[in-house]
Amino acid sequence: MTSDSISDSLRQIQTPRLPAGSAAQMNVEADLRLHAAGPMRAVDEVRRIDDLAPLDGYQREMVTAVGRLLADGVDVLRIAQTIARVNDLLTMRLLLLAETGLGRPPCSYAWLALGSQGRGEQVLSSDQDSALTFDDRAPAPASEYFPRLAGLVVNALARAGLPLCDGGYMATSWCHPISEFRGLFRGWVHQPEPQALLKAEVFLDVRPVHGDLPVEVLDRILVSGGSSGQFLVQMAREALTFTPPLGLFGRLRTSDPTIDLKQAGIAAIVLLARLYALAAGATAHTTLARLEAAAAGGTLSRAGAGNLAEAYRLLTALRLRHQVDQVGAGRAPDNLVRLDSLTAEDRGLLRDSMRVVRDVQQVTAMRFATHTVT
């Protein structure tokens, strides 16, 4: 299906409402009312969507909302959660629109959020990470219906300002019966080759957003990897690939005027939190909850978990402030912050955060003997 035909299809769809009393809708809106009017305007923007035309204003509303939450001093990790939850509502809305246009789904299905949306930790530059799974007993039309549904929604999300995933982790590519996903997940856990691990890492954040197909079995398969030493060693090795830019005496390297906050620290913290939570047998999805579970389970020291949590909070704050400024200046948001744009205090805190990540990585390398992995 071409982009033009997708646009035409969405324009013909009548506006449905989220189901009365929808738990997802009620939970998100109640949570957003705790903060400021900004996020609720973004929710109102979602409610008004009945074709592609209003989608162009969605990202502007989100940028305004994030800017106000930052100005109000709301915890940055709560803001990241808010972004993800409003994007959940947008996804649900678009799925209901697409279902109205395509007709009733031929069987039960689930739209799955992966990556940062699956963790509930999105920023303004976050791209799409999604999958779609449906009942094994689906009738023949399912093989045509769900790829069309995925195409409509993925392209509409892109129009709303959520970039396509460069790695292809979107429901347009990952649209399979639940039995096929079960087989894929078991293969990733029990045969943790580097390429398989890359896929497993994305799906470790899997979370259902819409649909009535139970998918808890996928979480159980992934968590079972916590009892597999080989799987954990491979995950540990992956967590060491993102090296903080520290030079002599733990100082920030300044040969480059910018620092990529995601590559320099955020990605490593996310991976370390996944690793140690999985080792503790935890099913938590957010990075903070994973660190807390790891500390409670004894797989990571309380000091180490607390330091990583504070580092994650600082890096997310710098990232969001930078992105709001970029969008305000008419530029696409990214993760490249100029060091000379930071205050001396922020540079010091950034350096300390990089040291925390490096120290936990060094402990991880020794604990999981990552040098022995080939």
CATH number, domain of 65, equals 3.30.460.10
Cβ atoms of 44 and 132 closer than 8 Å: no
What pLDDT, on a 0 to 100 scale, did the predictor assign at position 223? 81
Do 33 and 153 share a domain, yes or no? yes
**Which region, left, alpha or beta, applies to residue 143 given φ > 0 means left and ψ of -120 to 50 means alpha?**
alpha
Lookup: tokens for 365: 């390398």
For 259, which DSSP code?
A: E
Do 184 and 252 share a domain, yes or no? no
Q: In the chain, how many domains are there? A: 2
Do 139 and 246 share a domain, yes or no? no
Question: Per-residue pLDDT averaged across 116-124, rounded?
Answer: 93
Cβ atoms of 55 and 97 closer than 8 Å: no
- Residue 337 pairs in a beta bridge with 259
For residue 36, give its domain range: 3-224
Q: Is 16 helix (H, G, I), strand (E, B) or coil?
A: coil
Helices 142-159 and 76-102: crossing angle in degrees, nearest 10, is 130
| pLDDT tens sequence across 206-237 | 999 999 999 999 988 888 877 777 888 888 99
What pLDDT, on a 0 to 100 scale, did the predictor assign at position 39? 56
Do 25 and 169 share a domain, yes or no? yes
Residue 188: how many CA atoms within 13 Å on its side-chain side? 24
For 226, which DSSP code?
A: G
| pLDDT tens sequence across 26-76 | 555 555 554 444 555 666 666 666 654 457 778 888 888 899 889 989 899
Query: Measured between alpha carbons, how far is 41 from 82 in angstroms, rounded to an integer?
Result: 13
Cβ atoms of 236 and 364 closer than 8 Å: yes
Do 129 and 244 share a domain, yes or no? no
Query: Measured between alpha carbons, how far is 171 from 129 in angstroms, rounded to an integer?
Result: 8
What's this model's pTM, rounded to 2 decimal places? 0.86
Do 241 and 153 share a domain, yes or no? no
CATH code (residue 274): 1.20.120
Do 266 and 320 share a domain, yes or no? yes
What pLDDT, on a 0 to 100 scale, did the predictor assign at position 226? 72
Buried b (16+ CB within 10 A) or exposed e, 173-183: bbbbbbeebbe
